[in-house]
Amino acid sequence: MMAGIGHNSGRVDEPGHSWRKHVWTKARKNLMPTLPIEVVRLRVRRATQLGLPYKTYAGIRASTGHDLIGFLFSNNALQVMRDGQPMPIARADKLGDLIAAQRIGLAHIPVTPTHLTSFPEIDRAYAAPRFDGTWTDMRDHLQVVIKSGKQPADRFVLVGDTGFERDWSEAAKLAGYLPADAFFIGRVG
């Protein structure tokens, strides 16, 4: 069976492959800074304060160039689906363990921001972007939420539970998106 156009079936037959590989590997290594051990220790400690695995924290930090200062949590990620419903204890405990991190709730109807702020683990809350809004509406809405705290968007990560919520992080130019299971349980996928 023949491979499609542009596919080399994993074989590289042209001359100079090993040299190009060597040069590429060396150039890539030179791009990655070697951090002093004290800086690594500080970053490991910060990842712990944020409740993130070091690898996740380091990846987000490398992509933005900034430390994280907070999270936006959808009510879906918090497993709060209606007003009056308590947040699961394990999720509240995880939020309560965060150190030096803002915890912002985003409430989908029928959950209200007032209900989310009734949890001591949530610092402030806002209505979530509407499902029927445009990309521009979503972006503008989230920029208002972020600007209310007078901090840059790329210092926040969105923790959500749906594909629609994943789009929020791109629209608002946040530092990243984490599925709720990855943040609260440590399980990806």
pLDDT tens track for 109-152: 999 999 999 999 999 999 999 888 888 998 999 988 888 878 88
Q: Which residue has the higher pLDDT, 187 or 119?
A: 119
Q: Which residue has the higher pLDDT, 83 or 188?
A: 83
Residue among 155, 180, 176 nearest 100 (CA): 155
pLDDT the model gives residue 188: 54
Within-domain flag for 139: yes
Within-domain flag for 118: yes
The CATH number of the domain holding residue 114 is 3.40.50.1000
Within-domain flag for 177: yes
DSSP string, 53-90: -HHHHHHHHHHHSS---EEEEEHHHHT--STTPPPPHH
Residue 38: its H or E element: helix 37-49
Within-domain flag for 76: yes
Please state the pTM of the whole predicted model: 0.78
Q: Which residue has the higher pLDDT, 65 or 86?
A: 86
Tally of structural domains, the chain: 1
Within-domain flag for 3: no
Is 77's pLDDT higher than 90?
Answer: yes
pLDDT the model gives residue 185: 85
Among the listed ranges 28-42, 84-98, 122-136, 153-167, which one has the minimum average pLDDT value? 28-42
Within-domain flag for 10: no
DSSP state of 123: S
Within-domain flag for 156: yes
Is 5's pLDDT higher than 50?
Answer: yes
Within-domain flag for 39: no
Q: What residues are paired with 158 via a beta bridge?
A: 72, 177
Domain containing 167 equals 67-185
